[in-house]
Structures are given as structure tokens and as C-alpha cells.
Chains A and B, each alone.
Chain A
Amino acid sequence: MSIAITTQFICFTVLSLVILIGALGVVLLESIVYSAFLLGGVFMSVAGLYLLLNASFVAAAQVLVYVGAVNVLIIFAIMLVNKKEDLKPINDIKSRRIISTSICLTLLSLLIRVDLTNIWSLSSPQNSIGEDSTIRIGEHLFSDYLLPFEVASVLLLMAMIGAIVLARRDVMNKDISTGLPVDQELIEKSSEPLLTNKN
């Protein structure tokens, strides 16, 4: 990489701070819409880290797929299900919080200990491949990773069909639970939900 080391350090610090503060905002903020937009910021900063690691193709893929597709999908889902509802209070919420937080902190300390104490056998000319990485990824995808590549395309097809089937309202002519004919119109009509909570 041809950027000076001081610039790299400054970029890394800024990007890491944005990632960590943004991730905390995603899990802690009250409003889910703010969380979704912060998640977009986190994805963009992760793409910046990839650029710092000299992987321009993966950074572009990250921006296209995560910010362009996944984040937009999440915002659409929030738009469709965003209803103000008063959540029922859980009585043992405090002990749950304490247990989950301690589990997370334990895992974090273990991971950081491994990160710091292990002696990594680094290769000496780091990032020597540079701009040829896109060519190299293409060679990998069409030689030794050909089978995963084809399986991934089948997986995407299955995910597409599955999402359509799951999210579509009326797939059949007759409602399974009531036996009545269902209307195939696209506009949502208010109907009695099948599985409302009885208790």
C-alpha cells in the first residue's frame, strides 16, 4: 500500500471508532429506524477497513451488497412492520441482562486474550498483491472454488424463491385453516390473524 503509515493509522482509528460506536448505537438506540441507518454507516466503515487492507474488489462488493441491498431490505421491513406497540414487561429482565452481559464480557476477554497472546506467523512482504487481487479472486472462483461458486448460485436462487413464497400472502385458492376462498388482490386487507396470542 502506498499511503504513508501515519495516514493509515489515522484512517484506521477513525474507521474503528465509527464501527464500534455505530454498532453500539445499533443495539442500544430506542428507535429502530435510527438503528437501521447507523447500520448502513457501520457497513460503509467496514468497506473502508477493507480498502485499508488493500482489497478494493471486496470493498466494492461490501458497499453494493450490504449497503445497497441488505440495508435497504431492512429499512423496507421496518417500514412494513413498524407499529407502535407497548411491549409487555418481563419480570426477570434484570437477571437476564446481567447474565447475558457477563457472557458477552467473558467471551470478549477470551477473544482479546487470544488476539494479544498468540504469536502470528506473519508473512514478510505484506499486501504485495495489491491491485491484482481482483484477477486473483476471479481465478480462484473459476478454478479451485468452482463448486462453492456454483452452489452459491443455487443457494441464491433457493433464497429468492423461498422469500417470495414466504412473504406472499395467498399462494393457494383456498385458505387452509378456514376453507374459505381467498382473494388474490395485492392490497392487504385487514383480516383476523390466525395465531393471535391467546394468553
Chain B
Amino acid sequence: MMNLESIPIQAFLIVSSVLFCIGIWGLLNSRNAVRVLMSIELMLNAVNINLMTFSSYIDNDLIQGQVFTIFVITVAAAEAAVGLAILLSLYRNRVTVDMESFNLLKW
């Protein structure tokens, strides 16, 4: 066992990298539109973990990373509300949540 004073910063960064990549995979491969929104939330959480880690390990007196995380949480809440409202009106017009059938902008 190594003699460490604290958890290494790399551990947090690797967790957030893996979480971000899982989010991207879900974003690219989901057929259900609600699951796409959930993947976006996963990616935003990965970014938040990164910001909090740097705020705690590098910028420890001026905790600007925590302020940034608060703003990201605010934007994520607004994004979830608007995204789900768009999803509801799409469902009303198309009677499906399949991502493959949303092709109104295709030419």
C-alpha cells in the first residue's frame, strides 16, 4: 500500500472521463429520446466532477470551480425543462419517441 496523504487527483479525473464517455456512447446509440436526455445529464455530471476536482486540488482558496459548478447545475436544470417540453410536443405530433423518426430537418 502506498503511503498517500490524500486520494490522487488522477482517480477523480479518470472516473469523470469514463462517465463522460459512457454519456457520449448513450447519446449516440439510444433510440429513446428520454434516454438521450439522460445521457446528456450524465455528461454534464462528468464535467461537474472535473470542475470540482480542480477547484479542490488546484484552486483551493478561491473556490471558483464550485461557483462554475453551481452555474452548470443551473443551466442543466433549464436544459432538462426545455428539452422535456420539446419532447412532449414532439410526442404529441409524431406519437413516438423513436429518435430515428424525428427527420423533419432532413432534406
Contacts and interface: CB of A to CB of B under 8 A. Distances in A.
B21 A26 contact: no
Interface residues of B, number: 80
Interface string B70-81: 110111111111
A136 B82 contact: no
A53 B34 contact: no
A83 B96 CA distance: 8
Contacts of A19: 15, 19
A40 B26 CA distance: 16
B84 A77 contact: yes
Given A137-B63, A156-B78, A58 B69 contact: yes
Interface of B is mostly: helix
B24 A104 contact: yes
Interface residues of A, number: 91
Interface in A77-124: 77-78, 80-81, 83, 85, 87-88, 90, 96-97, 100-101, 103-105, 107-108, 111-112, 115-116, 120-123
A52 to B, nearest CB: 8
Contacts of B32: 32
A199 B70 CA distance: 45
A121 B9 CA distance: 11
Given A27-B35, A115-B13, A197 B94 contact: yes
B85 A115 contact: no
Contacts, number: 250
A16 B70 contact: no
Contacts of B61: 128-129
A122 B42 contact: no
B62 A136 contact: yes
Given A101-B25, A159-B82, A167-B89, A16 B15 contact: yes
Interface string A11-37: 010001001100110110000100110
Interface of B: 4-7, 9-15, 17-26, 28-32, 34-35, 37-39, 41-42, 45, 48-49, 52-53, 55-64, 66-67, 69-71, 73-82, 84-89, 91-98, 100-101, 104
8 interchain residue pairs of minimum CB distance: A27-B26, A159-B78, A166-B85, A111-B17, A163-B85, A115-B13, A100-B28, A167-B85
